[in-house]
Structure 1
Amino acid sequence: MATVILVRHGRTNANAAGLLAGRAAGISLDQIGIDQAARAGDRLAAVPLVAVVSSPLERCRETARFLLERQAGIPYAPIEPDLIECDYGQWQGRTLEDLATEKLWSVVQSQPSAVTFPGGESLAAMQARSVAAIRRHDAAFEAEHGPGAVWAAVTHGDLIKAILADALGMHLDLFQRINVGPASVSIVRYGATRPTVHATNTDAGDLSWLANSTPLGDAPVGGGAGQEAPRTSGA
């Protein structure tokens, strides 16, 4: 089975201002977001990725470039339209503080599967397209590069939460229990019988174990031996 590393884009000015950017054009990383994306690139430098796939939106393409700078042999990040941000419709561009006064807000929090944003997309449709895109790319990279292939998908917070919920076997109504911070890294492997989730919402820590990790078909009863500790230099 291949391994997908789900990377959320770094922070933007819209994030910092509490605005729901949605699919608006021209939303770029702020300086903190640039630093976050650079750190994500540094973390993944120890992992030979076979590909980096990105949402079409600028903030994701910017984040993907930091990953590509630390990888050899990957000239660009293909764009995947189905990894674009949720279409929030009439909610796009409004502040989260303002949106919290809407009746739909409580439904978004407690029953996301019932939500269709006014003039926009349903959260169920967002999950369906994003999960299908990740699984499609994952199968293609495994077929081309073998079961040890590791690749990265750079996309958006709600999409990653929905993808993780699917991988964890959680109903979409529970996906608000998952947190995905800017430039965080989450790791999923899709096996023949089920996905396995190896990390969620990490923004620090060694990832070099992914370079030599052998995917297991079955879950180790008792938890298994885990990964080798990262090597350190010096005595």
Structure 2
Amino acid sequence: MTVTFFLVRHAAHNNVGSFLAGRATGITLGEAGRAQARALAERMQRENVDAVFTSPRERTRETAHAITSLSRLQEPKVADELDEVDFGEWSGKSFAVLEADPLWRRWNSIRSLARTPGGETMLDVQSRVVRLVEGLASGNSGRRLALVTHSDVIKAAVSHVLGLPIDAWPRFEIAPASVTTFVIGDWGAKLMTLNEMIFEPTS
């Protein structure tokens, strides 16, 4: 038997792309993000999802709640393994400020050998999300599970499924409110869709 996983990136918060939200508190969906979450919930209704798991961040919980409400599922279950990368001292800083930090530039050039200041490595992130997926796969045969999380967490999971090095993260995009699907069975894992977008990106 197989388990189907829908890895959902949360809908957009205000000023997405201008600062590193990380694990900073109080970052919720903006008006555009709420519209994305509603459209995403309608999209996920077609998938007959059995349960929804979410990162503890506000923006992911709001996105997950939109899915469960429309599909009349139980409330999303919070899973710390789906949390955003622990960016430590970088959380909440603008990208303009971060670009002046040599450690930030190293993080974005060779993540396999870099650690965020006071935080974690991408290999740490990959380890925790893979641990969650493997645990869910072993006890949910035949089920379809949505995991609402963050871009880098999804990239870490996809890299694992495809056997890519963790430094392959810039080679593919994970957009806000996008869906990436893979299936796990006794035979292994297979990626079915990547970065399926509900909305086309705007310039």
TM-score with structure 1 length normalisation? 0.80
Count of residues in correspondence between the two structures: 198
Counterpart among 173, 182, 185 of residue 176 in structure 2? 182
C-alpha displacement of 1:182: 0.5
- Tell me, which stretches of 5 or more residues in structure 1 are unaligned? 206-235
- Secondary structure, counterpart of 2:77 in structure 1: coil
- Secondary structure, counterpart of 2:93 in structure 1: coil
Distance 2:130 2:64 in 1: 19
C-alpha displacement of 1:176: 2.0
Equivalent in the alignment of 1:53: 53
Distance 1:192 1:82 in 2: 23
TM-score with structure 2 length normalisation? 0.92
8 Å contact kept, 1:14–1:21: no
1:98 partnered with 2:97: yes
8 Å contact kept, 1:37–1:63: yes
Equivalent in the alignment of 1:114: 113
Distance 1:50 1:169 in 2: 28
8 Å contact kept, 1:14–1:20: no
CA deviation vs aligned residue, 1:3-57 (integer Å, no higher than 9, x gap): 00000111012415x1111111111000111111111111111121110001111
Structure with higher strand content? 2
* C-alpha spacing 1:78/1:57, structure 2 compared with 1 (3 Å): same
Letter paired with 1:9:
H
Counterpart among 171, 189, 200 of residue 195 in structure 1? 189
- Secondary structure, counterpart of 2:193 in structure 1: strand
Equivalent in the alignment of 1:232: none
Equivalent in the alignment of 1:19: 19
1:158 partnered with 2:155: no
- Mapping of residues 5-154 of structure 1, within 5 Å: 5-16=6-17, 18-72=18-72, 74-142=73-141, 147=142, 149-154=143-148
Distance 1:204 1:23 in 2: 25
The structure that has the greater radius of gyration is: 1
Distance 1:26 1:78 in 2: 20
Equivalent in the alignment of 1:168: 162
- Tell me, which stretches of 5 or more residues in structure 2 are unaligned? none
CA deviation vs aligned residue, 1:55-103 (integer Å, no higher than 9, x gap): 111111100011112213x221111011111110111111112212221
- Secondary structure, counterpart of 1:15 in structure 2: coil
C-alpha displacement of 1:140: 2.0
CA deviation vs aligned residue, 1:115-154 (integer Å, no higher than 9, x gap): 1001111111111111211221232222xxxx3x211000
Distance 1:37 1:198 in 2: 22
CA deviation vs aligned residue, 1:198-228 (integer Å, no higher than 9, x gap): 11111149xxxxxxxxxxxxxxxxxxxxxxx
Distance 2:74 2:150 in 1: 22
8 Å contact kept, 1:41–1:70: yes
Distance 2:152 2:61 in 1: 17
C-alpha displacement of 1:107: 2.4
